[in-house]
Structure 1
Amino acid sequence: MSILRISLLFALVAFASDLQAERSVEDEYKALLWKTAKIIHQYYVEEVHPDSLAQAAVRGIFNSLDPASEYTFNARTQLASEDPARLLNDRFYTLMQMAQAIDENAFYPVTADTLVRFGIAGMMEILDPYSVFLEKRNLDNFNIQTQGKYGGLGFRIQVVYPDSAIAVWSLVHDQTPAALAGVKSGDLITAINNTSTKGMSAGVAADSMRGEPGTSVTLTLERADRPTPFDLTIERREVQMNSVPLATLFPDGTGYIKLDSFQKGSTREVFKAIVELEEQGMERLILDLRNNGGGYLEEAVQITDLFLPRDCLVAFTEGRRIETAEYITREDALLRDTPLIVMVNHLSASASEIVAGAIQDWDRGLVLGTTTVGKGSVQQIVHIDDRAELKLTMAAWHTPSGRSIDKRMRKDSTLVRGYDKEFKTLRLERIVRGRGGITPDIEVSGRSGSRLDAQLSGFYNLNNQFFYYAREHRLKYPALTPDFVVGPADLAAFRAF
């Protein structure tokens, strides 16, 4: 076996710190970094050479050190082999030696878990944007987005200025623990379990309020109609989020369904909305997928099944190390002939593009809006240990006509078939292309924003006057109902505010 050579140059070298991590560098390395590297090498949608993967991990590790620390990692002086698995073992054994040398000799101590996590971050940098190493909060947030439930209180929050306070922006629905306990949109949360929220980020506040169902949290609230703050203790419960926030019928018989995400149960919500709209006399339907970043592939297939006949191809996936999979409709269409428009925009991605692409390819309806994100890749979750999981891109998906709409796949990838070719829809043989997202049949650009628009969509505007106006408006008009419609006088009053 060839002799391994490793050259490390440190600006300052001293004895290791007496500080010890809970697990040694070798333990952390084997449990997390090495396991992650093997999974990437085996299953990632495109082959990554062991040298590239190891060098990326080295760069990541050295990002955790002081700027004067340097390294030399010369793959040409190491084992040469045509066996990728043997190369991977060789390169990452060298990398473990490097990590141990850093742990033992670096003047500025770096904990074992920090070294390993920076190494993992380095590897993730050379993959596509959708492959992510998930730990703690990020893993919790991912589970909320896909499963649609969490242990908490059931409202959306936002930091508002000039108070630098955590505001209750809206309740998820009227049966959440917070709603049943009396929390109202417009409340300001000034403390969580007696800890002030002054200067606290929304992420930290959310983490503080989430927890195991059955446990309690105490909020200190300020309300516009209360002279002093008051405490409210709420028992956490599993909160189910709705993926269909709005379903309505316009006077001309047009039904409208807004679908925010593809989470577990989304198909059931869309099915229920369609049935209720049909009972009200719906003649045509708009399915709004704007700003929908995707979710579960299975939910996308089942929702498409509501509009296409049985045994229609919805999408197929291909990967380097996983079997090709086809996704077929299994039921008769709930809405087989009802005129259909699917709305998309530049934030519609993944599962949204699967639905829009299938509807377009089968000429079942028209796609309206702006070109979508172009995320034509499939991620799967791989368990690493009790603290972490890897969301890894393992395959590329294609619409029924055979086109891949992914923007980020490399052009030389064998998985992107016909990258620059034209494709035809399956019934009317209209021309569609397989690159750069789903191109709408009807291009409709969004209107340009104004300061008033920014205030009204204030979830992204920290200094939000609409929030404060709405708090006072509720006091003046306590009898307002959800069907209230803003008139010219209301807009004038808001502008004056």
Structure 2
Amino acid sequence: MKKSKAIRNPFYPIIIALLAIIAVFSWGIFQRLSDNPTVLNRLNPKSSANKLSQLVNYIDEYYVDTIQKEHLVDQTIQKVLQDLDPHSYYITKEEMRRMNEPLEGNFDGVGIEFRIIKDTLVIISVVEDGPSEKVGLLAGDRIIEVDSMHVAGVGLTNSDVFDKLRGPAETEVDIKVLRNGNPNVLDFTVTRGKIPIYSVASSYMLDNKTGYIKLIRFSKTTEEEFHNAASNLKNEGMTSLILDLRGNGGGFLNAAIAICDEFLGDNKLVVYTMGKSQPRHDHYATTVGELERTKVVVLIDQNSASASEIVAGALQDNDRGTIMGRRSFGKGLVQTQLDLYDKSAIRLTIARYYTPTGRSIQKPYGNGIDYDEEYYQRYESGELSDADSIHVIDSLKFITPKGKVVYGGGGIVPDVFLPLDESYRSSYFAHIIYSGMINNFAFDYADSHRDELLSKYDGNTDPNYNFVNDFEVSDQQFNKFVEFTKEGGFDPDKKDILKSEDMIKNRIKALIGRNIWDNDIYYKVLNQKDSDVKSALEISEEGEAI
């Protein structure tokens, strides 16, 4: 923790702050549990909690300088919780709403995806049947004014946009936009509403019998979304499924259990949780799932965590399907949320979860371990490119019902290892991705060719098929992109350009498709060059025991 230069003795104020926060934390629990006589008896006038409350009040009243007590408390609570384990943490009241939205599955707003391009707020897409679509806002519109406040060329940030456009449902916001091909400023009044945040990013048929579902989070709406996507794919002839959990950082435990229930037979153990104050609680599959007779391959990687690992671990331990990819993140801790009196909250680890064979897949933490740097250690050790470099602990070996060896103690080790594809990676590719240059270029192209692309690919035939298979980013367009990046201050090495050219063209095409149509086109294009998906498709075609 960084120490303030204004404080000469670095230890004394930290100790005082820690004591202060313990007092505030104890009082918050007291407020919530005041009807519990046992708790009230513990918090007697002679208790340490009361003593610490007196101390923090004394500091507030008599300390030589004015202190920002709320800020001090917030920062110190966070430090106290982070010292317990990597996944216990404090959420300020300001952060609370935005952190919950992805898990709730919706938020109140106007229903647009936006990007700030050249200091201008640009609509990338509008939510189907959402508030903005209903009044006629279109992708490509430039928002220049919100509620009589000018927002173009003023250094707008993403946070500013959220503050101005989000608000309670049924409230109104006045928006002025500029639209390509129209010299006039257009006025719209948008009535805010519930905007969905989807868990299923894409679902489509890879071929005549293999479906693909990209799941990006586990939220309250995940079960319904996944069930609907799977049902639609089965109606299209799906007999095998590739479930893509790469990059999925998790979410609600119940959502993960529901997904497993689609694949596992009645009364199969999915997962169990247990902690010092939490007795063992088993979760079982229930009635017949939608996909119990469907072949399944699950894709995971080093960023698949928590609920994603519950799904992968449950299927692996029940000898169901094939897990492919790279060793998952290794988050095997369960948090519960305590809401505090000021609308802030604490998410505290209360249990570990265990896969059906009894594995805890939580990777090590504490005792000098740099938890956040572990990803880079995997890369440097060669683990992401060579299965033999994966470190497993023999004492944490488990056996599945059919005799397969699996390991605990550090993520889910896949049944079939897929090395990280580095054939196209370069410093140039990394720069254009992380800087957002490729997104801006693709949007500019889509915006200036929108009518042409819609006319050519969105007629009576399927634009998904025609655009994905027929459209190509030409060499001329690619050269324009290279010049675009140079104008942005990055002069790439020629070897890097050649190494990454094919993948950059693929990314540009995918982004153009998403800007014009939707995420399905985006993933269809990306997956054409995705070596993991290609390998999963090959395994899926080989068949599996169910």
TM over 0.5: yes
Say which SS state the counterpart of residue 100 (structure 2) adopts.
helix
1:441 pairs with 2:424: no
1:169 pairs with 2:127: no
Structure 2 CA distance for partners of 1:229 and 1:369, relative to 1, 3 Å: farther
* Alignment partner of 1:128 out of 73, 80, 85: 85
* Alignment partner of 1:377 out of 328, 333, 341: 333
* Alignment partner of 1:391 out of 314, 335, 347: 347
1:34 pairs with 2:8: no
> In structure 1, what is the Cα distance between the partners aligned to 2:264 and 2:242?
16
- Cα offset, 1:425, TM superposition: 4.2
Structure 2 CA distance for partners of 1:36 and 1:406, relative to 1, 3 Å: farther
Question: Structure 1 residues 268-277 or 477-486, which shifts more?
Answer: 477-486
> In structure 2, what is the Cα distance between the partners aligned to 1:459 and 1:238?
31
- Cα offset, 1:132, TM superposition: 2.4
- Cα offset, 1:474, TM superposition: 0.9
- Cα offset, 1:230, TM superposition: 3.1
Q: Is the 8 A contact 2:85 2:366 kept in 1?
A: no
Q: Is the 8 A contact 1:190 1:196 kept in 2?
A: yes
Residue in 1 that maps onto 2:112? 155
Residue in 1 that maps onto 2:473? 490
Structure 2 CA distance for partners of 1:275 and 1:125, relative to 1, 3 Å: closer
Structure 2 CA distance for partners of 1:123 and 1:487, relative to 1, 3 Å: same
Question: Structure 1 residues 420-429 or 439-448, which shifts more?
Answer: 420-429
What residue identity is the alignment partner of 1:437? G
Q: Is the 8 A contact 1:456 1:466 kept in 2?
A: no
Q: Is the 8 A contact 1:356 1:438 kept in 2?
A: yes
Residue in 2 that maps onto 1:477? 453
> In structure 2, what is the Cα distance between the partners aligned to 1:492 and 1:87?
77
1:225 pairs with 2:199: no
Residue in 1 that maps onto 2:444? 468
Residue in 1 that maps onto 2:56? 99
- Cα offset, 1:469, TM superposition: 1.8
* Alignment partner of 1:327 out of 283, 286, 301: 283
User: For 1:234-284, what per-residue CA distance to the aligned partner results, in whole angstroms no more than 9, with x for missing partners?
Assistant: 111112222112111122421111112111121122112222212211121
Structure 2 CA distance for partners of 1:386 and 1:117, relative to 1, 3 Å: closer
User: For 1:287-330, what per-residue CA distance to the aligned partner results, in whole angstroms no more than 9, with x for missing partners?
Assistant: 11111111111111011011010001101111111222111111
- Cα offset, 1:402, TM superposition: 0.5
1:310 pairs with 2:305: no
Q: Is the 8 A contact 1:401 1:425 kept in 2?
A: yes
Q: Is the 8 A contact 2:273 2:280 kept in 1?
A: yes
Residue in 1 that maps onto 2:525? none
1:182 pairs with 2:139: no
The within-5 A match list for 1:246-285 is 246-285=202-241
Structure 2 CA distance for partners of 1:442 and 1:229, relative to 1, 3 Å: farther
Say which SS state the counterpart of residue 263 (structure 2) adopts.
coil
Residue in 1 that maps onto 2:320? 364
> In structure 2, what is the Cα distance between the partners aligned to 1:221 and 1:455?
31
Residue in 1 that maps onto 2:36? none
- Cα offset, 1:116, TM superposition: 2.6
Residue in 2 that maps onto 1:51? none
Question: Structure 1 residues 254-263 or 137-146, which shifts more?
Answer: 137-146
Residue in 1 that maps onto 2:66? 109
Per the normalisation by structure 2, the TM-score is 0.69
Q: Structure 1 vs Structure 2: percent identity of aligned residues? A: 30
User: For 1:203-256, what per-residue CA distance to the aligned partner results, in whole angstroms no more than 9, with x for missing partners?
Assistant: 231132211110012233333333354332211111222211211112242111
- Cα offset, 1:375, TM superposition: 0.9
Residue in 2 that maps onto 1:244? 200
Say which SS state the counterpart of residue 364 (structure 1) adopts.
coil
What residue identity is the alignment partner of 1:209? L
> In structure 2, what is the Cα distance between the partners aligned to 1:208 and 1:217?
9
Q: Is the 8 A contact 2:252 2:307 kept in 1?
A: yes
> In structure 2, what is the Cα distance between the partners aligned to 1:334 and 1:130?
33
The within-5 A match list for 1:422-437 is 422-437=396-411
The within-5 A match list for 1:199-210 is 199-210=155-166
- Cα offset, 1:478, TM superposition: 3.9
| Cα-Cα RMSD | 3.4
User: For 1:62-102, what per-residue CA distance to the aligned partner results, in whole angstroms no more than 9, with x for missing partners?
Assistant: xxxxxxxxxxxxxxxxxxxxxxx789986555544443344
> In structure 2, what is the Cα distance between the partners aligned to 1:453 and 1:252?
34
> In structure 1, what is the Cα distance between the partners aligned to 2:90 and 2:251?
17
> In structure 2, what is the Cα distance between the partners aligned to 1:11 and 1:434?
46
Unaligned runs of 5+ in 1: 1-8, 13-24, 40-84, 412-417
Q: Is the 8 A contact 1:368 1:442 kept in 2?
A: yes
Q: Which structure's residues are more often helix, by fraction?
A: 2
What residue identity is the alignment partner of 2:25? L
Per the normalisation by structure 1, the TM-score is 0.75
> In structure 2, what is the Cα distance between the partners aligned to 1:29 and 1:374?
30
Residue in 2 that maps onto 1:21? none
> In structure 1, what is the Cα distance between the partners aligned to 2:179 and 2:253?
42
How many residues align structurally?
A: 422
> In structure 1, what is the Cα distance between the partners aligned to 2:272 and 2:78?
31
> In structure 1, what is the Cα distance between the partners aligned to 2:231 and 2:452?
38
Structure 2 CA distance for partners of 1:400 and 1:468, relative to 1, 3 Å: same
What residue identity is the alignment partner of 2:198? N
> In structure 2, what is the Cα distance between the partners aligned to 1:292 and 1:282?
23
Q: Is the 8 A contact 2:43 2:50 kept in 1?
A: no
Q: Is the 8 A contact 2:337 2:348 kept in 1?
A: yes
> In structure 2, what is the Cα distance between the partners aligned to 1:238 and 1:34?
37
Q: Is the 8 A contact 1:139 1:388 kept in 2?
A: yes
What residue identity is the alignment partner of 2:290? L
Structure 2 CA distance for partners of 1:491 and 1:345, relative to 1, 3 Å: farther
> In structure 1, what is the Cα distance between the partners aligned to 2:282 and 2:122?
45
Residue in 2 that maps onto 1:286? 242
